[in-house]
Amino acid sequence: MPSLTVPLRERAYTVHIEPGFSGLGPTLQGEGVRRVVVVTEPVVANLWLSTLISELEGAGILVQHQVLALTEATKTFDLWRECVEGLLELGVDRRTVVVALGGGVVGDVAGFAAASVLRGLRIVQVPTTLLAMVDSSVGGKTGINSTKGKNLIGAFHQPMLVWAPVCALQTLEEAEYLAGFGEVIKIALVADAALFAELEVHAAPLLERSPDALMAVIQRSVVLKAEIVASDEKESGLRMVLNAGHTVAHGIEAASGFQWRHGAAVAVGLVAEARWAERQGHAAGVVERLVPLLRRFQLPIDAPETRAESVLVAMRLDKKNADAMLIVPVPVEVGRAELIRHPISQLAELIEGLSCVAFNPSC
């Protein structure tokens, strides 16, 4: 099955894109893993925890687990502390491996806990959502939300391995599944015109959840992200293009009390930032292709009932702010983005015209 390496010298690791969980146990056994603690949340635990435990125990690995009430709204110090204290209560040592089983929130919190406990435990990411498979499980970003904004507290902590069981995507509710395409479309928009064109022409099998189509799109998305991460691990330059749409998206998420799904908010952010870029003389023709593609995947393009002032407050706390300027990844054409410095005092320009589609938190 498709697998690839994220080439980070001594921190290099493999991303396995697999039909299911079979093979993960022997793979970890071959890496010398003898004991793991699985961190997950209730819905995923009900669906996949027993399958994962059987796979790992079948390879002679001791398995313990934590099931936490992890959502974007609860991705706070309290849940991180509960995760950390739980790991310590289980008596983990530096040979213990944490396994994050779930979507992006699980990966964020479990990854940050692993980075913190005993000054760093190894972590395996086992993403079960499309968004996590194509984006958050790869690259080592971990963290939690502050009362001031999203993902403002965290660490870069690369996994030892990523295992993406594509079968898990068949159990996602429709809105969660479709939200993942916000990140797929984002990386195509900023880094791969051919992938963008493929999505325009061949959306049907993806909407039908064809395993073959999904494996191909996940693999291409991960290849693109791995190349960018390898060239800029700590997000000091090129990697910032992966934040396209995210400045506005994080503002929308925070302003709505994290009721928006991340991928849906990213879709709105991409449109807002592309519209802004066109007004600045960049990105000619991008919006006219981006909006129909987002609609094809049933993603929102506006957030009219989100209070603009609340979005702006969150945007001013964006991690990419420096010296009263915000670094905005701008799609100058489909498949290529550039980083543009924009005055924080003029952030309102980025969210002009966010209206048309009714605000729907379930997106």
By annotation, the residues acting in catalysis are 119, 141, 183, 225, 235, 239, 243, 246, 250, 262
CA-wise closest residue to 179 among 249, 265, 62: 265
Any idea which residue has 């993403």 for tokens?
Answer: 127
Amino acid sitting at position 254 = A
Amino acid sitting at position 185 = I
CA atoms of 308 and 298, how far apart (whole Å): 23
Any idea which residue has 């507290």 for tokens?
Answer: 153
Distances (CA, A) of 64 to 82, 83, 87, 108: 16, 13, 10, 19
Residue 91 zone, left/alpha/beta (φ > 0; ψ -120 to 50; rest): left
Angle, helices 193-201 vs 286-296, to 10°: value is 50
Residue 151 zone, left/alpha/beta (φ > 0; ψ -120 to 50; rest): left
Angle, helices 174-191 vs 286-296, to 10°: value is 160
Residue 141: beta bridge partners?
156
Task: Enter the DSSP assignment of 360.
Answer: -
CA-wise closest residue to 213 among 198, 196, 194, 192: 198
CA 275 to chain centre: 23
